[in-house]
């Protein structure tokens, strides 16, 4: 079965760090452009970061640039989002998505609070 499964969310204090994982199964993650998209509680969807299939290009939303890093482990078929210097407004459900946003994971909740 083709699927994406996120993990790594949780409660973190402002200024802290967290690494999200997105494990792919049923397809090779490195064959597709992959994205992280987030949704703050009760709000709409916001694109966060992207990695080109060959890994040569990564792009970020201005609000996370310099704080978040998207990466990939081809051997584990897993996408990551390293989040540093977290702020309260980073609180959201984080989804990974691929295949032109055709595939989405179930999301993982990140809460930034003291």
Partner 1 sequence: DVVMTQSPLSLPVTLGQPASISCRSSQSLVHSDGNTYLSWFLQRPGQSPRRLIYRVSNRDSGVPDRFTGSGSGTDFTLNISRVEAEDVGVYYCMQGTHWPPWTFGQGTKVEIK
What would you report as the CA-atom Rg of the chain, rounded to the nearest whole angstrom? 13
45 binds partner 1 (CB under 8 A): yes
5 binds partner 1 (CB under 8 A): no
With CB under 8 A as the contact rule, the residue among 7, 9, 47, 71 that binds partner 1 is 47
Beta carbon of residue 56, minimum distance to partner 1 (angstroms, whole number): 15
Query: Rule CB under 8 A: which of 55-114 touch partner 1?
Result: 59-62, 95, 97, 100-102, 104-107
Q: What is the DSSP string of 1-70?
A: --EEEEE--EEE-TT--EEEEEEEESS-GGGS-EEEEEE-TT--EEEEEEE-TTSS-EEE-TTTTTTEEE
Q: Which residues bind partner 1 (CB under 8 A)?
A: 35, 37, 44-47, 50, 59-62, 95, 97, 100-102, 104-107
């Amino acid at each position: 079965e083709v699927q994406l499964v996120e993990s790594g969310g949780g409660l973190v204090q402002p200024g802290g760090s967290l690494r999200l994982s997105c494990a792919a199964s049923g397809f090779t993650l490195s064959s597709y452009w992959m994205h992280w998209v987030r949704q703050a509680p009760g709000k709409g969807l916001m694109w966060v970061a992207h990695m080109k299939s060959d890994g040569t290009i990564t792009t970020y939303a201005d609000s996370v640039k310099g704080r978040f890093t998207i990466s990939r482990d081809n051997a584990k078929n897993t996408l990551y989002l390293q989040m540093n210097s977290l702020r309260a407004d980073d609180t959201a459900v984080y989804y990974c998505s691929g295949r032109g946003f055709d595939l989405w994971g179930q999301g993982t909740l990140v809460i930034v609070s003291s």
